[in-house]
Amino acid sequence: PFQCAESNGSAVQCADSAHWNVERGRAEMDEASRNNVWEVTHVKKLPDAERALAMLRELKLHVDPLLGARGFRVQKLYEICCCTAGGKDVRIGGFCCPAGDGRTSRRIALRLRAAGSHVLLSFDHCLKVLIHELAHIVQGNHSAQFYAAMDELGRQYAQLREKGMLLDAASFPMSGGRALDTARRNPTGL
């Protein structure tokens, strides 16, 4: 078996070389294609699980251009809940496990649901929490530098959104953060 480092510094055994090959393949990707969210996962057993997964995917679409512009990467973006191990403390909206290189997060966890009721929170709320967690890639604690980095990320996101550099699920530019009218993308009666 191969040993793979976890973000907490411990080593885990990989059952075979398949895991090693995935990691090697990631290492061989060109640098620009790595500056995004690599994987999203949700809690499948909860109500509206597919909507939660869709929200994570949409969050990914919204932050990928920001990650690319900053040279950041998030290896895993996933949902936490009051009934999962990482989400028991209902006071937190998410957390980031940075790799320590100032560019990479091993994982970012987001609370997508209200504690107890499991009702999905608003997209805008989850996006704000995600931008907060992205700031932890470069600033670990909640210092003045952290809040400056978070504000800068928020401003840069707003600029990308206004310039139409965010793409919807069909890879069309969003205008002002909203998907363009699909009926008008390929007008037939001009």
pLDDT of residue 140: 92
- In 38-124, which ranges are E strands? 40-41, 73-74, 77-80, 94-98, 104-111
Q: What is the average per-residue pLDDT within 156-163?
A: 90
> Does position 11 have pLDDT exceeding 90, yes or no?
no
- Which pLDDT band holds residue 27 (cuts at 50, 70, 90)? low
Q: Which of the four pLDDT bands, split at 50, 70 and 90, describes residue 165?
A: confident
Largest CA distance in the chain: 63
C-alpha distances in Å from residue 131, one per residue of 123, 158, 187, 190:
12, 11, 36, 41
Over 50: is that where the pLDDT of 4 sits?
A: no
Instruction: Give the tens place of pLDDT for each residue, 106-154.
Output: 999 999 999 999 999 999 999 999 999 999 999 999 999 999 999 999 9
Q: Which pLDDT score, from 0 to 100, does residue 189 have?
A: 47
Which of 87, 100, 60 shows the shortest CA–CA distance to 76? Answer: 60
Per-residue tokens: 22: 């995935």
Q: Which pLDDT does position 176 carry in this prediction?
A: 54
90: three-class secondary structure by DSSP: coil
- CA 164 – CA 99 distance, rounded (Å): 31
Q: How confident is the model at residue 29 (pLDDT cuts 50, 70, 90)?
A: low
Whole-model pTM: value is: 0.75
| Cβ 67 vs Cβ 73: under 8 Å | yes
pLDDT per residue as tens digits for the range 82-99: 998 888 999 999 999 999
Whether the predicted pLDDT of 13 surpasses 70: no
Query: What are phi and psi for residue 128, nearest 5 degrees?
Result: -65, -40
pLDDT value of residue 162: 86
Asked whether the predicted pLDDT for residue 168 surpasses 60, the reply is yes
CB 152 within 8 A of CB 126: no
